[in-house]
Amino acid sequence: MPNPHIFRTVALFTLFLTFVAVRPAIAQDRMSDKDVENLMKNLKQDSKTFQSAFNSSISHSTIRKTSQEKDDKATVQLYRNQVDRMLDVFQDKRQANDTLPVVMNTSGQIDEIFKSVQLGESAKSAWKKCKTEMNMLATQFNMSGH
């Protein structure tokens, strides 16, 4: 019959090796600063595409020619400006701790617009792409996405 002390020692050693082996695999999931910058550049371009699709779609919605249309377009413009600023700050300081939460907050406001106004597929598709990129950034900076 095997010695229980040896069995426990082997089990603990195996558990230790498992944790040591898993840590490098997790660290490899972290994007380089250059990759984060490129992701932000993609988001900047995609936010322009989204704004164009959004403005076109909302101009054909039930809220066209109302103050809500104007407010919603302003929210999307604010989002674009915030994305641009986030990229500028990241290029300068290699951080997004202050800017990404602001972008994500405005993103939540845009999500609410989509819940209250029926918009076209091009706007929905473009927004989904932006959301995916923001969630990737949130993961990189250990922030929760929307």
pLDDT, tens digit, 9 for 90 and up, residues 87-139: 999 999 999 999 999 999 999 999 999 999 999 999 999 999 999 999 999 99
pLDDT reported for residue 30: 81
pLDDT at 23: 47
Q: Does position 65 have pLDDT exceeding 70, yes or no?
A: yes
Say what the pLDDT of residue 54 is.
98
Across the range 63-82, mean pLDDT stands at: 98
Distance CA 136, CA 98 (A): 17
> Residue 20 pLDDT > 80, yes or no?
no
* Section 16-26 average pLDDT: 51
Two structure tokens written together for 145: 């996405």
What pLDDT was estimated at residue 21? 53
> Domain ranges in the chain?
1-30, 31-140
pLDDT number for residue 145:
62
Percent of the chain past pLDDT 90, that is, above it, reads 77
| pLDDT at 33 (0 to 100) | 95
145 backbone φψ class: left, alpha, beta (φ>0; ψ -120 to 50):
beta
- Report DSSP state, residue 97: T
Contacts of 126 (CB under 8 A, 6+ apart): 46, 49, 50, 53, 54
Position 84 pLDDT exceeds 60: yes
CATH 1.10.3470 fits 31-140, yes or no: no
Tally Cβ neighbours within 10 Å of residue 74.
Answer: 10
39-68 b/e (C-beta count within 10 Å ≥ 16 → b)? bbeebbebbebbbebbeebbeebebeeeeb
Question: Is 44 in contact with 84 (CB distance < 8 Å)?
Answer: yes
- Element containing residue 18 per DSSP (H, E): helix 4-27
How confident is the prediction for the chain on average, in pLDDT? 88
